[in-house]
Each structure stands twice: as C-alpha cells, then as structure tokens.
C-alpha cells in the first residue's frame, strides 16, 4: 500500500508558483467575466418565457437576441484568452520545473541514485507532466469556476426561492461523494503506479540486456516474469478504472436526481402560483452551473489525486541532500597526493561494512594497484576516493585538504575516472571524449585520444571524430568503448587518474598498449588502478592487497608481489621459465591482523594492521618491467581453500617419431607453432648416428606438414549448383609429420601451421554456395579428403 502524501514534501509548490501569481490573477479575473456572461442565457430564457411569449413583444425579442449575440462574442474572446494564458503557464512550468528536477538529479549523491530503480527516476519526469497538465488544463479551469457556484446559488434564491432548498440538500451529498472519491482514488492510483514502475523497470532491464536475452534465448524464462508483472499492473488499472467509473456514474445519477427534484418541486410551485415558468427554466440552467462543476470534481478527482502524489514525490527529491554546490576552501590544482584516514563505509545500516577502517597514503606519481578477491571492496574504495560515496567514518584528503569541502565539478576536474562498465552516450566520438570538459579544444581532445591510444582508430572511422557512435556507443566494440572512456578521463590532464578494470574488454595487444600508456602518464600524474591483469600489475610501482574490506598488504610491487605469489618475484629481463619457479599460490592468507614475519629484510613488505597508515613511499617513474611469469592473478584471488592446490598436469600427448633424413651435427632447436605442441631434439656429438626427432602432437585433429604440400579449396562459380568434391584415389592412411632439417650450422625442427585436415573418406562434403576460398592446387598422391570448415 503506498504511503499517504506528506504535506511537508509539498511545501516547495507555493514558492515555485509565486512567480505565476500575476498570471493566475488574470485567469481568475477572466473567469469572473466568463461566469457573469454565463448568466445571460438564464436571464434571456426568463425574459422570453415571462414577457415575450405572454405579451407577444417581437421588438423585445429582437433586442434580446442581438444582445445575446454580443455576449457570445465576448464570451468566446475571454475563453480563448484564458486558454492562451494557461498554455503560457504550462510552458513556463514545464521549462522551470523540468530544469529544476534535472539539476537536482545531477547533484544527488551516487548512493541516493543507486537506492532507487531507473524506472522511479524516469517516472519523476512524468510527474512534471502531471503538474503541468493540472495547472494548465481543464482541472485548473474547474477550480477557477467552482467559487462562482455560490453566486449562482444566491441568484437562484432571488428568482426561485421555493426550489432553492433542493440544491441545499443535494450539495452536501455531492461533497461527500467527492471526499470519498479522493481517498479511494488516491490509494488505487498509488498501487497502479507502483506496479507500473515495476513493469517499466523489467522492460528497461530487458532492453539493456537484449544481447544476452537473444544469445541465450532467455525469452522463455523472461516471458512468465513479464506476464506476472503486466498482469498485476492490469489488475490494479482495472481496479482503479472501476472505482473511477463508479464515482463518475454516482455523480451523473446525482445530477439527474437534482434536475428531477427541481422540475417536480418547481411544477408544484407553478401550480400554487408561487413560481413562473420562466423562473423554473432559469433555475434549471443555473443549477447546471452549480451541479456541473461538482459532478466534474467527482470525475476529475483522479487528476487532483495524481497531482498531489506527483508534488509529494517531487518534493521528496527536492528535499534530499545534494552534493556540495559551493566550495568552502579554494585550492589550486593539486599535485595528486591522497591520504585515506580510518575510512569505514557500509551501503546501509543493517549491512556489514564493506570498507573496514582503512588508512592509506599515496604519494604523487607512479602506478598504484589495488588487488584482491571479488567483493573485497576495491571498487567501493575507488569510488570513495573519487568522492562518489561518503564514508560513515573517516575522510579522504587531497594535498592535505578534506575532499568533502569541494564541489563535484572541482573533484571531476582533478580526478579522471574510468568505471568498470564503460558507458558512452549518444553522439559523436568528440562529444563523448569532451563530455567531461565541454570547453576542451580540439588539440586537448586529440592529445587525450593519443595518450589513450585511440587516435589511430578514430581517424580510420568514416567521419573521424565526428562519427556518430549510436546509442550507448553501440556501433563500437567493447574494447573501443573502453579506450574512449580512458581518453575521456585524460582530457584536461587531471593530476589523479582512477581506472577500474581498464583492460577487461581489451585484447592482449591493446592491453600492452594500455600498459605503455599508463607508464607514460604516470611520469607526471598519479595513476590508481583496480585490476586482475598480470600485464598491468607488472607495470605497477605500488601494490595494495585488500581482503574483506581491510588492507592486508601494502608496499612496492617488487616486495609485495613475492608475498602474494608465494615465491620470488620475477626479475627484470627474466623469462617465463625462471618466473614459474616462484609458484602461483599465496604464501599466507592476507588478513588485516597478520603479524610481521620475524627476521624479515629491512625493506620487506608486511601485512598492514587495521588503522595503521600504509605509505606508498617515493614515486617511481620507471616501473618494474617484468611480471611474475607463471603465476596468474586467478591464483592470487583464489579462496583460501584453493591456494595450496597445485597446478593440474597437462594430459599426456601422443608421441609419434619419424627418422631424420640426414645426420645432424648440432643440437636441434624445436620450433612448432601449433597450440600446446612441443618439440625437442637431443644434441648429438659430431659424427654420431642420426637420431629420431620426437614430435609431440595431439591425436585429433591430425595435421600435415608443409613438405611439398599445399591445400586447395576451389569455390564454385557464381550461380553454380554443383558441389565440388575431392575424391580419394587410394586407401586412406595415416600421415605423419616429418622433420626436415636444413644442412646448416644450427638446424631446426620445423612444423607448419595445420592448414589441411586429414580424415578417412566420408560420403559427402558440403561447401556453402558462394564461399570464396582459393588455395594452390593439391599435388600429392596420398589419399586426402577435405573437410568442411563447419566440421
């Protein structure tokens, strides 16, 4: 059941409507004259029936008729002017209230925005429409005309006192029905709105996840959910409609009953010669001016109920706490030193803290990485540094100044931010890069794009920086959107750059480019990343390991990485084989209460107890180039029960040998490009007999060497219906990869990439019509059957 509207949340309406006071006065004045002219019709009827009909005064009738024509003309002009004024009011209300709501939403804290669904926030703009239509539509005119019902009632007492008591009896009945309608319709409208928002939220989720729904065919599971929510909304809409129709029909029945009573009582008064025929007809017309607005009030109470609920919801938003609008102190462009003091944060009072008493000091420059298991608080801590979340305890300082003293726009100028999900907006590439700083010049935009490594692909787009990227960047790949988000964060050269999983959508080549980019910008700025990528971690200067919301380990990456990986860190220039010796398991569970290791080295990193400030130390402009090869970050983030698990051994490979064609006088170096295939050749002394070269291969699929072989797949010509086949001429036999050794000082064992797959002959091989494949002709007598790509 929806909460009843609170008058406290509607206090904003009076100050908001104060500038429109003069306009509403004009509307009331015009309504006064319109209602005065409305008296002309009853008076005309009274005079015609009492004087013209009885005496046959044609000249009197002509004068009355001309007067009524003038009255109708003036009435039209007044009504049209009043409607035009109300349209102006509607436009001003829409502009002013819409702007005020938008600015308020932009200033609300992120935590407040995340506490409601997207359907709730979008419904607020429909509330603006409700307020606009109520203040400028028929409901506003009804409120302007309703006070004149008293004037009409007084006039009825003057010309037909014997029937006036009928209206005195029926008016309280109309008011009772209107009051009952208000309470019932308010509840019904609130329930319908709630189910409508729930349905709209589901629709929004389905639209945002349309790719997943189509790929996994989730329509079968989503349809029952949609039907349930849609049925609830329809049920509440029918209930509300039933109540509306009931009260509207009650009002119509009361109007007919009032007219019936007036006619009956008036006829009796005429018989008793206490009332004239003209007075009775005029009374019926005037009673319509009284009963009509009351009947409309019953039927339109839903409009007023929606208006009250809309103003209450808007008032709730306007009364919410917003981000700081004016800075308390003035600070020049900071150098980028960040200090976190005893920060505690929880998403709600009934939930456990996500960040538990973390203290940290990050000096300017260098790359600082936060690592830890999923859900340990890395992203939350990054948002606290950005100022998006306000901690319940503690504070964040920049160059010694509390960041809570600065406005959101100032923090955005100093802190570049790339969220986990790279969100772009409808528009061009330039618009999205410059959205963080609309006044940025073309040179600044190109500089940021170049630093982010996206300038080369932007200029290859059809319109370059003016290319329209579609809704939410739908015309770009995930990696391209992520790199543009990085460029957006670098516009204006902020002293601190925060990146949350910046390589999640990048391939290996792009990830290495991003690493080079971060290394370059870290020479002049402070870079803080949250990442699970060993490539990016290898370039970091300082590492901070979080565990269950606490800082478990902090220090230079060269000292922290060995602790995390349970072995010695890979030294600069060492290969992957040397790095594998360190293992991939944690040496100890990273907890905030871990004790320092006894007899440790002077500079060895130790776990950080809660409340102790972890200092990053001096900035390092040249990060460690090598990474602890052989150890993946997945093992670093594994649960404690899995840390000691050894790496599973690879499955045994099928070994096939073939004799070498010529003696080899030097060690043979294996060189095989097929995945997970290894080759080894044992060195022999000079003059020794040729040995067999061992080739490790997977049983399936089989591959053939490049020894005087070339594969050919000739596509059918356009319009050809025949399916080309390659038939066998001999019994299929097992083809082995041979090793060809060049007579050189350092012969190598070679194996080409598998381009032709050998298999026993099948009944048929289908190739799609129109497939264009061209390879050299097959010149071999062996029995070979070409497989389709689909196999």
Stretch 32-47: mean pLDDT, rounded?
88
> Residue 398: pLDDT above 60?
yes
pLDDT for res 711: 42
pLDDT in tens, 590-614: 333 333 333 344 344 445 544 444 5
pLDDT in tens, 461-495: 889 999 999 888 888 888 888 889 999 999 988 99
Stretch 741-755: mean pLDDT, rounded?
40
Do 782 and 726 meet the contact criterion of CB atoms below 8 Å apart?
A: no
CA-to-CA distance for 155 and 766, rounded, in angstroms? 96
Q: What percent of the chain has pLDDT over 90?
A: 12
| Total residue count of the chain as it appears in this document | 791
> 181-195, 253-267, 681-695 — which is least confidently predicted?
681-695
pLDDT for res 438: 83
List, in order, residues 6 or more apart from 467 with CB less than 8 Å away: 428, 429, 458, 461, 475
Stretch 327-351: mean pLDDT, rounded?
83
Stretch 180-186: mean pLDDT, rounded?
79
Do 299 and 106 meet the contact criterion of CB atoms below 8 Å apart?
A: no
- If pLDDT is split at 50, 70 and 90, which confidence band does 777 have? very low
> 328-332, 360-364, 422-426, 685-689 — which is least confidently predicted?
685-689
pLDDT for res 470: 86
Listed residue (432, 417, 408) closest to 497, CA to CA: 417
Alpha carbon 413 to its chain centroid, in Å, reads: 23
- If pLDDT is split at 50, 70 and 90, which confidence band does 183 have? confident
Cα four-point dihedral sign 440, 443, 449, 454: positive
CA-to-CA distance for 623 and 367, rounded, in angstroms? 8
CA-to-CA distance for 124 and 103, rounded, in angstroms? 13
Q: What is the 3-state secondary structure (H, E, C) of 533-591?
A: CHHHHCCCCEEEEEECCEEEEEEEHHHHHHHHHCCCCCCCCCCHHHHHHHCCCCCCCCC
- If pLDDT is split at 50, 70 and 90, which confidence band does 6 have? low
pLDDT for res 367: 93
CA-to-CA distance for 458 and 286, rounded, in angstroms? 74
pLDDT in tens, 661-696: 444 444 433 333 333 333 333 334 444 444 443 333
Give the predicted TM-score (pTM) of the model.
0.61
Containing H/E element for 278? helix 277-299
> Residue 785: pLDDT above 80?
no
Q: Which domains does the chain have, with CATH numbers?
A: 10-318 (1.20.1560.10), 338-637 (3.40.50.300), 653-660+667-675+693-791 (no CATH)
User: Between 643 and 222, where is the model more confident?
Assistant: 222
> 20-34, 268-282, 542-556, 623-637 — which is least confidently predicted?
623-637
Across all residues in the chain, what is the average pLDDT?
A: 73
- If pLDDT is split at 50, 70 and 90, which confidence band does 787 have? very low
CA-to-CA distance for 370 and 387, rounded, in angstroms? 17
List, in order, residues 6 or more apart from 402 with CB less than 8 Å away: 395, 396
> Residue 411: pLDDT above 60?
yes
Q: What is the 3-state secondary structure (H, E, C) of 302-357?
A: HHHHHHHHHHHHHHHHHCCCCCCCCCCCCCCCCCCCEEEEEEEECCCCCCCCCEEE
> Residue 201: pLDDT above 90?
no
Q: What percent of the chain has pLDDT over 70?
A: 69
> Residue 747: pLDDT above 50?
no
pLDDT in tens, 520-579: 989 889 999 998 888 898 899 999 999 888 988 888 988 888 887 654 444 433 333 333
pLDDT in tens, 70-114: 999 999 999 999 988 988 888 888 888 999 999 888 888 888 888
User: Regarding beta strands 526-530 and 496-500, do their DSSP bridges make them parallel or antiparallel, or are they unpaired?
Assistant: parallel
């Amino acid at each position: 059941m929806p909460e009843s509207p609170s008058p406290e949340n509607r206090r904003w309406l009076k100050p908001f409507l104060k500038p429109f006071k003069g306009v509403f006065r004009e509307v009331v004045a015009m309504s006064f004259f319109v209602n005065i002219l409305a008296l002309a019709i009853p008076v005309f009827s009274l005079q015609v029936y009492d004087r013209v009909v009885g005496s046959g005064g044609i000249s009197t009738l002509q004068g009355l008729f001309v007067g009524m024509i003038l009255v109708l003309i003036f009435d039209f002009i007044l009504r049209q002017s009043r409607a035009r004024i109300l349209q102006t009011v509607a436009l001003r209300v829409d502009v002013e209230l819409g702007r005020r709501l938008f600015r308020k939403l932009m200033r609300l804290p992120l935590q407040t925005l995340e506490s409601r669904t997207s359907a709730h926030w979008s419904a607020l703009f429909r509330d603006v429409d409700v307020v606009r239509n109520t203040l400028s539509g028929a409901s506003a005119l009804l409120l302007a005309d309703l006070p004149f019902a008293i004037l009409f009632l007084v006039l009825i007492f003057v010309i037909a006192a014997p029937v006036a008591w009928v209206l005195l009896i029926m008016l309280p009945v109309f008011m009772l029905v209107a009051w009952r309608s208000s309470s019932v319709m308010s509840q019904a409208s609130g329930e319908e709105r709630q189910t409508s928002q729930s349905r709209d939220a589901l629709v929004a989720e389905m639209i945002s996840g349309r790719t997943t729904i189509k790929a996994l065919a989730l329509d079968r599971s989503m349809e029952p959910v949609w039907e349930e929510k849609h049925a609830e909304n329809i049920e509440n809409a029918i209930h509300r409609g039933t109540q509306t129709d009931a009260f509207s029909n009650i009002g119509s029945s009361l109007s007919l009953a009032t007219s019936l009573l007036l006619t009956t009582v008036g006829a009796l008064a005429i018989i008793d010669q206490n009332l004239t025929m003209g007075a009775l007809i005029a009374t019926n017309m005037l009673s319509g001016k009284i009963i009509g607005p009351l009947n409309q009030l019953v039927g339109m109470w839903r409009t007023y109920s929606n208006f009250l609920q809309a103003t209450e919801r808007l008032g709730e938003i306007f009364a919410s706490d917003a981000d700081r609008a004016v800075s308390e102190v003035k600070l020049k462009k900071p150098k980028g030193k960040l200090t976190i003091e005893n920060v505690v944060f929880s998403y709600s009072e009934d939930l456990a803290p996500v960040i538990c008493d973390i203290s940290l000091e990050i000096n300017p420059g260098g790359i600082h990485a936060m690592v830890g298991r999923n859900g340990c608080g890395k992203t939350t801590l990054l948002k606290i540094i950005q100022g998006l979340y306000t901690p319940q305890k503690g504070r964040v300082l920049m160059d010694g100044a509390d960041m809570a003293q600065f406005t959101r726009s100032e923090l955005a100028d100093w802190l570049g931010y790339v969220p986990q999900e790279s969100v772009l907006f409808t528009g061009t590439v330039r618009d999205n890069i410059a959205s963080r700083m609309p006044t940025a010049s073309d040179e600044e935009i190109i500089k940021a794009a170049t630093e982010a490594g996206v300038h080369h692909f932007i200029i290859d787009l059809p319109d370059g920086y003016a290319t329209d990227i579609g809704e939410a960047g739908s015309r770009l790949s995930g990696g391209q959107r992520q790199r543009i988000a990085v460029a957006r964060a670098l516009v204006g050269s902020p002293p601190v750059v925060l990146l949350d999983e910046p390589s999640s959508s990048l391939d290996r080549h792009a990830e290495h480019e991003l690493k080079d980019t971060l290394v370059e910008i870290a020479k002049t700025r402070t870079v803080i990343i949250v990442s699970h990528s060993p490539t990016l971690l290898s370039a970091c200067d300082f590492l901070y390991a979080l565990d269950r919301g606490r800082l478990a380990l902090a220090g230079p990456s060269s000292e922290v990485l060995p602790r995390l990986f349970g072995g010695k860190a890979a030294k600069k220039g060492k290969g992957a084989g040397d790095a594998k010796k360190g293992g991939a398991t944690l040496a100890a569970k990273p907890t905030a209460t871990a004790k320092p290791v006894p007899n440790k080295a002077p500079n060895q990193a130790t776990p950080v107890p809660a409340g102790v400030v972890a200092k990053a130390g001096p900035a390092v402009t040249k990060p460690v180039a090598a990474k602890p090869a052989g150890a993946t970050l997945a093992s670093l983030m594994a649960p404690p029960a899995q840390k000691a698990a050894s790496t599973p051994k690879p499955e045994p490979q099928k070994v096939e040998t073939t004799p070498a064609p010529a003696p080899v006088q030097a060690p043979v170096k294996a060189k095989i490009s097929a995945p997970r295939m290894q080759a080894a050749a044992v060195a022999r002394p000079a003059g020794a007999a040729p040995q067999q070269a061992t080739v490790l291969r997977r049983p399936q699929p089989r591959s053939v060497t490049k020894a005087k072989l070339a594969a050919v797949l000739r596509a059918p010509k356009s319009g050809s219906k025949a399916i080309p086949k390659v038939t066998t001429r001999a019994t299929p036999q097992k083809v082995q990869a041979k090793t060809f050794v060049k007579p050189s000082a350092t012969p190598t064992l070679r194996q080409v990439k598998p381009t032709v797959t050998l298999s026993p002959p099948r009944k048929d091989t289908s190739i799609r019509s129109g497939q264009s494949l061209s390879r050299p002709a097959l010149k071999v007598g062996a029995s070979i059957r070409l497989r389709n790509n689909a196999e």
